[in-house]
Structure 1
């Protein structure tokens, strides 16, 4: 299998993931699995709280009724039944105002009294312990409040349980009442709607009655004002002799009649003048008799002309029969002359009569003209008085118009008191609500579970940085900025007794396999010199690093290598398990400069172990390092377990020594802290020799 499966990266390529750990689903899943109790606890608590709330809090039911509020009303005493449409803004403002009336204390108080809500425990609750204590303290301090009023309490509760709103783009108002009983909610909603309609009707009747009374109270004053104005006008007319009929003064009527008579007289005089001229023309022989109407219509002249015609006819016969010299012709001529004289005399008589009529007409015309001029002078004299009279008459007409309008309006208002002109009505009576308020119970439980699960996940993810632990290979790479060459699971080994009395490691666990792969990589990819020198240290994972050093040494020894395991950790965890003591101490060997051969101890599977000697380190890390490098020439691989970086000065000096080409820095997934790891990395700097190894990782790390 590829080495990446065991060590976590391809050879020569750093496996550092720059993305934050919480963007990796695997890291999130690992954090949640590690803290499953913290994830589930909020969900369980919220579910228990939801169930307790459902069990303890009584359900509420809202009954809804709809009321159409027509802002126009009904016209009773005018032509149309309904008035013209009002402006939309004014109508909406009126409907909004009626909503305030609908849920006003005046309406709700009547419902409280009608249903005796001041005796309903739901609307008048007993005082709580906190309220009782508060009242007692107020009494002790001498600041006792007013006694509780159950009716006022019920009114406030009903006000809080009642809501009204206007539906969009309509005059329909939706009224909702909420209680813990379906029937009670429906009854109260219906009662509020009916009480509102009754209140509005009564208010309109009361307003109409008040307006009628106000108008009626003015009728007497207006009647007195009208009578006073009429008396004043009549007195002024009598004082100034301004008598008239049908709205016109007598002087004006006489002037008009004189003017008409003068016109007629002038026409008559002109007519008679023309007739007289025609008659005189006939009398003088300048015109024919038939040209004058009076002559033609005269009976006398007609008879004379008839006789003249008969005589002339007889004379013509005589001349024809007896000759022009017959004696009888003389008699005929005398008769003709006589008749013609009679006709002329009749014409002169008609002319004399016409002349007399003409003279009488001219005299009448002159008389009428003189009278008219006199009356004109009189009319000019009363103009000022007439103007004043017109002003008084206008005042009379104005007073009469106002009085008549008030009289008509008073009668209308008197009749309107008995009529309900409101067009508002209930269009949807309140019915029993189908279900309780709020979301369904399964939805509540689902939301509680989801909220609890989300809270638990959040707490679990928040606990990762709060705990300050490495947790996973991903976080270790992100924090350190270095590749992780191996991820070791928790230690679980099986040991057997070796020939030298020690413990032999049987590589049949996941930890041993991972260690073997790490050792192979160190030999193949990391270390470039022989012998292979590997420093093993940590920031706070003392157990992990010492166990790793021991396991790497045992794995290399099983591969047939000559392995030297140096214990340079002040805790001496490797040396503590040795069953035999060296022939010479390390400090003594360094002083004698005889090499470290007598200071070595045989470990399991042929591993040579250099035990920890505090006196040797006190001689200086230079001498100690030189001795180790001298002894390393006899081995294939040397593993040096040093102290913790950040707490051990000798360990930091050994780690800074460039003669050690490889430095393994271990960090426990469960025990190592982020702060200490960062301090150790700061102490080491950006050293390419440093490679990270994570210990105590879970199976999926």
Structure 2
């Protein structure tokens, strides 16, 4: 079995231990609360007054144009900026200057008695300023003369800033200003003055900006009017000069050029149409003759001749079916056809000549118009430079006129808005004189002090209980050591083991006695079968763990049952049993182990207990160092043959080395651990030593446990 340290903590045990020490917590709470009350009652009371303004996102839109000074676009950065503005030295200087000097005499830090801490701070600042001040040629610190009134204003501004708190109410547009002074009336007046000055400055700044803009616009309007007049005069002068030099205006030349260009386009279209008609007729004549060309002409004569020729051809075709070509009727028809064909050819020639003449006329007309256009373009080109200069002058005049009109309109709007200005903020809560001081809050600080006393005492107890002070439950002990806790013995109001034995005789079934019986039963259950008795070694990590009381209780229980039991006291440096029992015998433990005297001569029958004892007549610190281990083994084995239970009461394991020599000489080992007292590390170290030295059956017994501990009912813990 190994021993492991475990940081397992039972909250129920912690609270139970805290409850057992409740009077410590109550005393600490009352003491801290009373101390806080006394300290806070000595502080000068301060009175706080609050005034609030709201930044209004709404705007009054009287004119449709943009405002000269735009309204604020409310967002978090801007609201934070306005909070800083309310704390600015410019605004606070204006606030302080608005009060008569006598009203702020009590508020002036120079007129108040400074505390010891303030005097110390002032001395340090004076030393630092002296070191940082410039030196004159003689090596002395240069003294800068300052206006007393200016210094008074600066002191008051600093005091007001320290006593003033500015904050934004949540995520709203509301900003609150709180001023805390010793005078409730002054707190109210200062808070209202700060917010009112803030609003007045906003209106003043907006009106000032508009007045500056109005002056600027008036100057610009005057300048722009002069520019417009000069530009229009330049245009008129240029036009007069051009008309005198050219005899005609640029506009007239441009109109004539436009008309001629239109006529030229029409003449070219007519020429192209006539030429195409003529070329088509000539091509057909050259290819198919005049009769084929006649089909393309729409002249009435040509159409009539073609119809007559067609009629004669039809009649001849009818006669050809009955008569030959020599028939007189057919010969007449042939003669008429030849005559009509000649007339048709002559008429076509005339028409072609007419078309040729039309083409020539159209060509001459197109050439004439082209000549006129060329002449007009040349004249227009000569006047183009002058036209460009005129257009530039007109553009400049138009731009100056438009700018002048805009400036004039803006000036009228700016002059109209000057009387409509209002602040971006408005007052929503005026400060009133407080009836009760805002600080120090005596009851609150007293309650806070009591709370801190309660928390501090509870936390202190908590750390005391978890920082290795001890174990408060069998479960913790079992978890930390890895060993069985076979019994938990109650703490009773006894002053000595004699009182314990008397109580067990008078009340054999009280709590401690029952727990001792549990321990005895657990030991008996561990006893192996055999004729000899059982040896149990009782030890502990530190002194005063209840080993002697436990040994006497077990011996008493064995004696009450008429069972033979003996206690062997191996605490060779400090034997309590010798004094308690009045030990008297012919020899003692040292005589048996070192001199080989008879064991029976060292046995002493303890009165009123029913058990025997072997101990020392006087302390023998060197006994275990010089005693052969075999002698101890022989002694224990012999006693086991004579007694059913041999109890070995030993010294603390970590305090001295005597007990280490006894490890391995007993059947069972009991490590006694005092409830909520023995150090956790000491317990785990003692358990580890016992196991490392060969102790085979080690159990733990928790002693002096609180009877009110609810989790320790039967004393058994689960095996890990």
* TM, length-normalised to structure 1: 0.67
Q: 1:71 to 1:439 in 2, by over 3 A?
A: farther
Residue in structure 1 matched with residue 674 of structure 2 by the alignment: 668
Counterpart Cα distance in 2 of 1:651 and 1:692: 16
Aligned with 1:694: secondary structure? strand
Q: What pairs up with 1:96-495 in 2 under 5 angstroms?
A: 101-116=85-100, 119=104, 121-122=106-107, 124=109, 127-136=114-123, 142-143=130-131, 149-160=151-162, 161-165=164-168, 168=171, 172-180=173-181, 183-241=185-243, 252=251, 382-414=383-415, 416-417=417-418, 419-422=419-422, 424=424, 426=426, 428-432=428-432, 448-466=449-467, 468-488=469-489, 489-490=491-492, 492=494
What's 2:611 paired with? 607
Distance of 1:372 and 1:693 partners within structure 2? 135
Q: Distance in 2 between matches of 1:467 and 1:425?
A: 64
**Contact in 2 for aligned 1:236/1:389 (Cα 8 Å):** yes
Task: Pick which of 538-547 and 203-212 moved more.
Answer: 538-547
1:600 to partner: Cα distance: 1.7
Q: Residue 35 in 1 paired to residue 21 in 2?
A: yes
Of the structure 1 ranges 133-142 and 458-467, higher mean CA displacement relative to structure 2 is found in: 133-142
Alpha-carbon distance between aligned partners in 2 of 1:504 and 1:198, rounded to the nearest angstrom: 91
2:52 corresponds to: 65
Following the alignment from structure 1 to structure 2, what is the Cα–Cα distance between the partners of residues 505 and 445? 51
Tell me, in whole angstroms, the C-alpha distance in 1 between the residues paired with 2:75 and 2:120.
51
Q: Which region of structure 1 is more displaced relative to structure 2, 212-221 or 140-149?
A: 140-149
The DSSP-based 3-state class of the residue aligned with 1:534 is strand
Q: 1:74 to 1:57 in 2, by over 3 A?
A: farther
**Residue aligned with 2:487, SS:** strand
Classify the secondary structure of the residue corresponding to 2:420: coil
Q: Which moved more, 1:476-485 or 1:50-59?
A: 50-59
Quote the offset at 1:164 in angstroms.
4.6
CA contact (8 A) 1:656 1:684 kept: no
**Number of aligned positions between the proteins:** 562
The residue that corresponds to 2:10 in the other structure is 23
CA shift, 1:461, in A, is: 1.1
Contact 1:166/1:173 (8 A) holds in 2 = yes
Change (3 A) 1:580 1:209: closer
Q: Is the 8 A contact 1:74 1:422 kept in 2?
A: no
Unaligned segments of structure 1, at least 5 residues: 1-13, 261-370
Query: Match of 1:149, SS?
Result: helix
What is the distance in 2 between the residues matched to 1:479 and 1:508? 35
> 1:228/1:585 Cα in 2 relative to 1: closer, same or farther (>3 Å)?
closer
| 1:469–1:674 CA contact under 8 A, matched in 2 | yes
Tell me, yes or no, if the aligned pair for 1:553 and 1:607 is still in contact at 8 Å: yes
Structure 2: segments with no counterpart, 5+ residues: 134-143, 260-371, 710-720
Deviation at 1:182, TM superposition (A): 5.5
Q: Name which one, 1 or 2, has greater alpha-carbon Rg.
A: 1
- Contact kept, 8 Å, 2:235 with 2:393, in 1: the verdict is yes
Distance apart, 1:459 and its partner CA: 1.0
**Structure 1 residue 178, shift from structure 2 partner:** 3.0
- With over 3 angstroms needed to count, the CA separation of the structure-2 counterparts of 1:554 and 1:217, relative to structure 1, is same
2:654 alignment partner, SS class: coil
1:512–1:461 CA distance, 2 compared to 1 (3 A): closer
Contact 1:67/1:193 (CA < 8 Å) preserved in 2?
no
| Cα distance between partner residues in 2 of 1:199 and 1:554 | 97
Tell me whether 1:48 sits opposite 2:29 in the alignment. Answer: no
User: What does residue 349 of structure 2 align with?
Assistant: none
Post-superposition CA distance 1:149-182 (Å, at most 9, x none): 33223323434514153764x7x43332232466
Report deviation, 1:102. 4.8
Q: In 2, distance between residues paired with 1:586 and 1:92?
A: 90
Contact 1:601 1:609 in 2 (8 A): yes
2:628 corresponds to: 620
1:393-439: CA deviations, max 9, x gaps?
A: 3323333443444445445545544x132364526232537987699
Between 506-515 and 627-636, the greater mean CA deviation after superposition: 506-515
CA distance in 1, matches of 2:596, 2:257: 172
Question: How far did 1:463 drift?
Answer: 0.8
Q: Is the CA contact (8 Å cut-off) linking 2:203 and 2:423 kept in structure 1? A: no
CA gap of 1:100–1:163, structure 2 versus 1, over 3 A, is same
SS for the counterpart of 1:638 is: strand
Q: Secondary structure at the match of 1:485?
A: strand
CA contact (8 A) 1:259 1:372 kept: no
SS of structure 2 residue aligned to 1:535? strand
SS in 2 for 1:633: helix
Q: Is residue 676 of structure 2 the alignment partner of residue 677 of structure 1?
A: no
Residue 426 of structure 2 aligns to a residue whose secondary structure is: strand
SS in 2 for 1:176: strand
Report the Cα offset of residue 130 of structure 1. 3.5
How far apart, CA to CA, are the structure 2 residues paired with 1:519 and 1:166?
69
CA contact (8 A) 2:96 2:157 kept: yes
Q: How does 1:684-695 map to 2 (within 5 A)?
A: 684-685=690-691, 687=695, 689-695=697-703
- Where does 1:438-587 land on structure 2 (aligned, <5 Å)? 448-466=449-467, 468-488=469-489, 489-490=491-492, 492=494, 506-508=505-507, 510=510, 513-514=513-514, 516-518=516-518, 520-521=520-521, 524-528=524-528, 529=530, 530-541=532-543, 544-570=546-572, 571-579=574-582, 581-587=584-590
Aligned equivalents of 2:406, 2:558: Cα separation in 1:
125
The residue aligned with 1:359 is none
CA 1:129 to 1:700, structure 2 compared with 1: closer, same or farther past 3 Å?
closer
- Match of 1:322? none
Question: Cα distance 1:243–1:54, how it changes in 2: closer, same or farther (>3 A)?
Answer: farther
Give the whole-Å Cα distance in 2 for the aligned partners of 1:44 and 1:539: 38
- Identify if the C-alpha distance between structure 1 residues 243 and 454 changes in structure 2 by more than 3 Å, giving closer, same or farther: farther
- Cα deviation, residue 83, structure 1: 7.1
In 2, are the aligned partners of 1:590 and 1:623 still within 8 Å (CA)? yes
Instruction: Give the secondary structure class of the aligned counterpart of 2:585.
Output: coil
Contact 1:197/1:425 (8 A) holds in 2? yes
C-alpha distance 568-100 of structure 1, shift in aligned 2 (>3 A): closer
Backbone CA RMSD of aligned residues: 4.7
1:398 to 1:492, Cα distance in 2 relative to 1, 3 A: closer
Task: Give, in whole Å, the separation in 1 of the partners of 2:374 and 2:611.
Answer: 165
Cα 1:430/1:242, change in 2 over 3 Å: farther
Q: Deviations over 1:556-614 (max 9, x none)?
A: 22322222221221122222445453223445556775641122223213432222374
